[in-house]
Chain A
Amino acid sequence: MLQITDLHATVADKPILKGLSLTINPGEVHAIMGPNGAGKSTLGYTLGGRPGYEVTGGTVTFAGQDLLALEPHERAAAGLFLGFQYPVEIPGVSFLQFLRESLNAQRRARGETELSGGAFLQVAKLRAGLLKMDLDMLKRPVNVGFSGGEKKRAEMVQMGILDPKLAILDETDSGLDIDALRVVGEGINTVMRQPGKAVLLITHYQRLLDYVKPDFVHVLAGGRIVRTGGPDLALELEERGYEAVAA
């Protein structure tokens, strides 16, 4: 589904990703762990196409397309979802309006028919319920006045509504208390643990992985993947620290 080969990327002319390769197949959950500054968030933003994250080498293929040739909104329409570490507030635009625009823009881009207001609300209600979020919350402006945990849950509601092929979740676990972590974990499993879908979890900590069991764990250090293992690797990292394991 996603094939990253020898990816190099710079931010403000500073090399951050230095030859990262990773293959994700349908049905798999991958976790990328690593110390601060390893390039974890840069990987997410680079795959999402954020301005300022410049690819200087390598290739990325997603669902048979050259991902790097697509504009950010085209990447979303192709089935890529980027969950933000710091979801952005958009004053004056309600979540429902935002999500309906998002979903229908994606559907138009894929040549599908747009969802009517009623049909959209049905989907929104179902997905919000899954994340134990009141539909009324989605009448509020995007992320405005939301707590850190609410923002993260709202990200997962968005993921549920947009129903992507691949979700790249950047520190979705940060800012969540234990109960919210479980709700978010279950949400990820329900939406993404489906045939033909895959997840890339970017995280510092092992705790989200208790709920969303990864098939592969990668250690990112110095802009490349330095070790790959199974779920046990996350436990080993937790125990021994990045420095010992990545060395």
Chain B
Amino acid sequence: MSQVAALPTRRDEDFRYADLAALTPLWPVAAEQVRVPGGEAQTMTLILAGGEAVARELVVTLGAGASFDLRVLNANGAYGRVALRAELGEGANFTLGAAQLAAGEQVLEIVTQVVHAAPDAVSRQIVRSVAGGQASVNYLGKVLVAKGASGTDGEQSVRAMLLDRTATANARPELEIHADDVKCAHGCAVGELDANGLFYMAARGIPPETAKRLMLQAFVAEAFAGAAEEEALLEQALAALEAML
């Protein structure tokens, strides 16, 4: 991966919704290499919660039978971007659980390319985003199944919750499949908090702010279920949610 690449433009699919002004001083972004040798298991937690713009680029390689569990909390106070390319060897297992919490005029985004290079690998991506104010939350994710990678099991579950009509969510889950006998699922939904649920809670005496908080906590928690650092992640996510509400 070249590190002297020209600054991207909106024509670059992976930067279509990026905050290019915030990205400029960070460019070029150095790729961080993660190699998980065959048969080994690694976990990683990324928390973006500072006030400065951040762009991270991870290049992950999983050997045969390796597993990698990545959890991301993207609640950066300015532009926050996590780009990831993962290449999965035979029978490898990759999990991405990510939550993005954006308020004000923030732009937060996760861009992934998961390559099933060999047979029988499993990838699970679950992304939960919440945006209020004029903020944007983006997920651009491609699952590429190489020729011969039969027995692939790939899943993308992408949901975004808009707290205000002025907030934006862009979601583009994408599949490119060059093999037979492949199971790939993607679900994508952008919505608002369930009005029926909010009234049900109110009818039991829960004030609207608390009801909203409970529902958002549950929504965000889906991204961190089963994580090694689940509690710490949830705690940070909840603190970020509090600041938004």
Q: Hey, which bits of chain A sit against chain B, CB under 8 A?
A: 48-51, 71-73, 75-77, 81-82, 84, 87-93, 97-99, 101-103, 105-106, 109, 141, 158, 162
Question: What number of A-B contacts does a CB cutoff of 8 Å give?
Answer: 81
B206 located at the interface, meaning its Cβ lies under 8 Å from any Cβ of chain A in the complex: yes
Interface residues of B (CB under 8 A from A): 194-197, 199-208, 210, 214-215, 217-219, 221-222
How far apart sit A48 and B201, CA to CA, in the bound complex (Å)?
A: 12
Q: Considering only CB atoms, which chain A residue lies closest to B220 in the complex? A: A92
Q: Do residues A88 and B197 form an inter-chain contact, with CB atoms below 8 A?
A: yes
* Residue with the greatest number of chain A CB neighbours at <10 A, chosen from B197, B204, B205, B210: B205
Main secondary structure of the interface of B (DSSP, over half): helix
In contact, A93 and B218 (Cβ under 8 angstroms): yes
Q: Is B199 a contact of A91 with CB atoms below 8 Å?
A: no
CB distance from A50 to the nearest CB of B (A): 5
Q: Is the CB of B201 within 8 A of A102?
A: yes
Bound Cα distance from A43 to B200, whole angstroms: 16
A88-B196, A93-B215, A93-B218 known; A103-B203 Cβ under 8 A: no
Q: Closest residue of chain B to A158, judged by CB?
A: B204
Min C-beta distance of A152 to chain B, whole Å: 14
Most buried by B among A48, A51, A75, A88: A88
Residues of A within 8 A of B206 (CB): 73, 98, 101-102, 105
Contacts of B197 in A (CB 8 A): 88-90
| 9 extra interface residue pairs, beta carbon distance < 8 Å, beyond A77-B205, A105-B206 | A72-B203, A73-B203, A73-B205, A81-B203, A84-B203, A90-B214, A93-B214, A101-B214, A102-B204
Separation in Å of the B239 CB from the closest CB of chain A?
18
Residues of A within 8 A of B222 (CB): 92
Q: Which residues of A contact B204 (CB under 8 A)?
A: 73, 76, 98-99, 102, 158, 162
Pairwise interchain contact A71-B205, C-beta atoms closer than 8 A: no
Chain A's nearest CB lies how many Å from the CB of B197? Answer: 5
Residue contacts A-B, CB under 8 angstroms, 6 given: A73-B202, A76-B204, A89-B197, A92-B215, A93-B217, A102-B201
From B197, B200, B203, B208, name the one whose CB has the most chain A CB atoms within 10 angstroms: B203
Asked whether B200 lies within 8 Å of A87 as measured between CB atoms, the reply is yes
